[in-house]
Structure 1
Amino acid sequence: MGHSLRTKDLSKIGYTNDKARSLAINIFNKHFKYHTKSEQLETLSSLRERPEDFLEDDVLGKLAEVLTGKTKEIQFKVHSLMEEPAPLKMYGGKEIEAIAKRQIELASLLPVSVAAALMPDAHMGYGLPIGGVLATKNAVIPYAVGMDIGCRMSLSIINASDTYLKRYSFQIKEAIKKCTHFGMEGGLDFRQEHEVLDDPLFRAMPLLKQLHGKAVRQLGSSGSGNHFVEFGEIELFDNNTLGLVAGKYSAILSHSGSRGLGANIAKHYTNIAMNTCKLPRQAQQLAWLDMDSEAGQEYWNCMNLAGDYAKACHDQIHSNLVKELGLEVLFKVENHHNFAWKDQWNNNDVIIHRKGATPAHKGELGIIPGSMTAPAYLVRGLGSGSSIFSASHGAGRAMSRQSAKDNMTVSAMKKVLSAAGVSLIGGSVEENPTAYKDIEKVMTAQKELVDIEGKFKPMIVRMNKE
């Protein structure tokens, strides 16, 4: 916990204006309480030296206005929706709720939209539905990427037979408690190091500078909600493209994103997008940033850094576990499913947003999980143009978190887990298996999008207890 700032601390670094000092103390004691005093003073010094750089900052903008004597100018453009939608393809539509369909239909009417698709695991989200894919022309939509930028899957196939999990279940459970961390705050008990923390963007951008301390603390952690780290058995099928002999192996599977770093980037640039790109009320959450604008370029750079950070978190989790248990990784497969990429579609340069969707270009490997008792599938993309080279990112929720709590007791969930042969560490009834769609139906609905190369069965599951 950082120390509370005092007026004399601010005076020492050149803050002489009473209003600025009072505002700084209020802001920093509220928003920077987990930073050390030296981190707080370093940010305040940067702000005093270059207040104009902070005018757009959600938290520090008001203080920057006092120091510069000017308010931030917001220039916005008003846009109408198109009468004709961009091409839109839905998969497994019978199982998808009407509101998710309406959301993707609305997205297809944006003047920047080139093509849209809805995956069979889709359900309602903010802006773009979860399971929504949208290709745009020279525009990036923060809410079409999502709040958890770079949320992703990572699978390590390890040099242990499928019987390893039963023989060493106690050691695995101890390692999974020691080498992972779940929950909104905090991190691992031992120091984590990764080159992503040295990225020069952390020093170059005020927003990222103030998030660096949190990124250091949260490296290698998983967060909450539907994020997990699992040990299980994977069966690789004949003719898999991994170069491994068909058969059963032990494996580690993880699902999480960019933690507080990505969430803060998403919030900051969503606000800028909504303030500068005015759309009809029902579509306002789909506000975009022009890729040629300063804010568009900043978001793009921050989004990519958040994606690298999410990958680093998974890398730490897997390497910590492998080291702790004395294992060796034979093959690793990983993919983002909340991200945007520069790509080509129908010979046009586009930005492809996948919010809860797995990239599935021809030959591209990915992982599509089910639930804590249902299998995850190792897949290879078939490069379907009508799905904008995408597939589902999981089974998809069949119930809201509240409904899941209302429809399942803890003791009933224990019976379901026991019947499936799954040991759960943490976890909540909000994530119980019945809260999700049938992964087999979802996979059937996307046969033309991916081929299945392997099937992962969860056995030891670690999640956040809420």
Structure 2
Amino acid sequence: MKPHQLIVPWKGDKRFTAIAKRAAALKKAGLDAEGILAAIRAEFGSPPELLGLREQPASAAIFGTVGEDVGAGGADIEPGALAQLQLALRLPIADCGALMPDAHVGYALPIGGVFRAHRAVAPAMVGVDIACRMMLTVFETPPDELMRRRDELFRTLKGVTTFGAGARREHAADHAVLDDPRWGATGQLRGLRQKAADQLGTSGSGNHFAELVVGERLQELLPGAPERFSGLLTHSGSRGVGYAVANHYMRVAAQETARVAKVPRYYEWLDLDSEAGQEYWTAMELCGAYASANHHVIHELFARRSKLPVAAQVENHHNFAWREGDLVTHRKGATPAEAGVLGLIPGSMGTSSYVVVGKGNPGSLMSSSHGAGRRGSRTWAKNTISMGDVRHDLAARDILVEGLSADESPLAYKDIERVMAIQESAGLLERVARMRPVAVLMAGEPGED
């Protein structure tokens, strides 16, 4: 047997390179396999006993029914999404989890999945679009006035942000986030500072959007908002910065986890006390600040150019991890719903979206859905949905759309009213305001959700 095959049990040990060199030297010196292993054990110690998956998953609360034919009068959640959460809950670090009614298959943790871990953060369970978020600006302008100016305002919206993977603005934006000292925390972040500047105020691709909405207040919990209002609703994240951070620390997590456990790909983690864990946490929080800044640049520029008076603003994020003592809650495509906290849950480009208030339900780990959720994959949508039917439906609803694609059409998504009703009846949230889109801007191309 060759030396590199003999030392496989030590793979993941920080001294593995030295162990490999020593094994090769012992082989060259004429030792047989038994002699090489005895010498390596004497010099470096026995290989560590790796942790593995538990036989049974930790507990999880499921909000919605699980089964086939999602969104077609069948179940709420596809079985694959539940299987992904249950696999995560078999990890040695797992505490408990939850699955929201918008859940669908992703990688590692499903979209709409919530996973709580002991003193560890799993980069792939946060996701590649770190701190992706929603933001709503409510204007004092009544809906009738926005509709009268809709074409003009839609042109204005197109001028304040740019869509597309890797997109940059024609004219650079500025924000205090670019002066955040955390850009100097690691070599990677220093290298990403210019990308952050180049992409500030852009919106990306996939399911990211910017839309003009008209709505009505359902409760007196949105300070400053008139009973009937118009608004700007946006969905985007930390752009290429978050993508680079996520991919780097997913690789680091794979290396670190291999030293202590054998788990499936993308289910690796970083110890919070480790240098890499602390680096990732700093980078993740910076991505959160940067994602928020992207939205504020877009909203502030739109308000200034449109001269629409701002009445209120709400924002919340998903694809993030929150720490409480020794426990870390990952929400991938799920969003916080602590008691009294306002949030946003969008439907689709053809259906209602909602401002909500959380009720702090411990069963959901104080979480709610981040949207309606997909009925199936993007490939399924492109092969199944008729673009003619989509255009006819949007025209009937009097909704302007630029960047239309089958996989982002209303028919690609679950029924938002069903998703909301499940969460209301389970005591996760209450609706505060309802709004509908009247002009939607998207990239019209695939991307990360």
Bin the TM-score by the shorter chain.
0.7 to 0.9
What's the secondary structure of 2:265's corresponding residue?
helix
- Are 2:104 and 1:127 aligned? no
Amino acid paired to 1:195: A
CA distance in 2, matches of 1:245, 1:148: 30
Partner in structure 2 of residue 318 of structure 1: 299
- CA distance in structure 1 between the aligned counterparts of 2:126 and 2:360, rounded to whole angstroms: 21
Query: Displacement of 1:405 after TM fit?
Result: 1.2
The answer to whether structure 1 residue 163 and structure 2 residue 144 are counterparts is yes
Aligned to 1:255: 235
Does the 8 A contact of 1:77 with 1:277 survive in 2? no
CA distance in 1, matches of 2:295, 2:105: 27
Q: For residues 178 and 76 of structure 1, what CA distance do their matches in structure 2 show?
A: 58
**TM-score, with length taken from structure 2:** 0.83
Distance in 2, matches of 1:291 and 1:255, equals: 29
1:108 counterpart = 2:108: no
SS of alignment partner, residue 103 of structure 2: strand
Taking the aligned partners of 1:97 and 1:104, their CA distance within structure 2 comes to 12
Q: Which moved more, 1:361-370 or 1:198-207?
A: 198-207
Using the size of structure 1 for normalisation, the TM-score is 0.80
What are the superposed Cα offsets for residues 151-193 of structure 1, whole Å, 9 maximum, x if unpaired? 0100111110011221111211111111010001232222200
1:88 to 47, 54, 60: 60
Contact 1:240-1:246 within 8 A present in 2 as well: no
The reply on whether 1:410 has 2:391 as its aligned counterpart is no
**Distance apart, 1:338 and its partner CA:** 0.8
1:42-63, Cα deviation, whole Å (9 max, x unpaired): xxxxxxxxxxxxxxxxxxxxxx
Partner of 1:192: 173
> Which amino acid letter does the alignment assign opposite residue 192 of structure 2?
L
State how far apart, in whole Å, the 2-side matches of 1:174 and 1:199 are.
Answer: 33
The structure 2 residue matched to 1:400, chosen from 365, 371, 377, is 377
Q: Is the 8 A contact 1:335 1:366 kept in 2?
A: yes
Give 1:352 shift.
0.8
Aligned counterpart for 1:136 among listed residues 106, 110, 117: 117
Structure 1 residue 78 displacement after superposition: 3.1
| Equivalence for 2:286 | 305
Match 1:99 to one of 65, 69, 80: 80
1:256-275 equivalences under 5 Å are: 256-275=236-255
Q: Which runs of 5 or more structure 1 residues have no equivalent in the other structure?
A: 1-74
Q: Compared with structure 1, are the counterparts of its residues 434 and 201 closer, same or farther at alpha carbon in structure 2 (3 Å cutoff)?
A: same
The alignment yields a C-alpha RMSD, in angstroms, of 1.6
- Is residue 450 from structure 1 mapped to residue 426 from structure 2 by the alignment? no
Higher relative contact order (CA 8 A, sep 6+): 2
How many Å separate the matches in 1 of 2:406 and 2:77? Answer: 23
CA deviation profile, 1:39-87 (whole Å, cap 9, x unmatched): xxxxxxxxxxxxxxxxxxxxxxxxxxxxxxxxxxxx9983212234322
**1:76–1:276 CA contact under 8 A, matched in 2:** no
Deviation at 1:412, TM superposition (A): 2.5
**Which letter does structure 1 place at the counterpart of 2:354?**
Y
Please identify the structure whose Cα radius of gyration is greater: 2
Tell me if the contact between 2:138 and 2:225 (Cα under 8 Å) persists in the aligned partners: no
CA apart distance, 1:244: 4.1
Q: What SS does structure 2 have at the residue aligned with 1:265? A: helix
Single out whichever of 93-102 and 448-457 deviates more from structure 2: 93-102
- Give the secondary structure class of the aligned counterpart of 1:340: strand
Deviations 1:252-295 (A, max 9, x none): 100000000000000000001011203545x3311010000000
Q: Tell me which amino acid in the other structure corresponds to 1:136.
A: A
Q: Provide the rounded CA distance (Å) in 2 between the counterparts of 1:76 and 1:88.
A: 31
For residues 298 and 329 of structure 1, the distance between their equivalents in structure 2, rounded to whole angstroms, comes to 37
Aligned partners of 2:133, 2:185: CA distance in 1, in Å?
26
Shift >4 Å, 4+ stretches = none
CA shift for structure 1 position 426: 1.7
Q: Deviations over 1:329-358 (max 9, x none)?
A: 1111100111001126xxxx4111000001
**Secondary structure at the residue paired with 2:210?**
strand
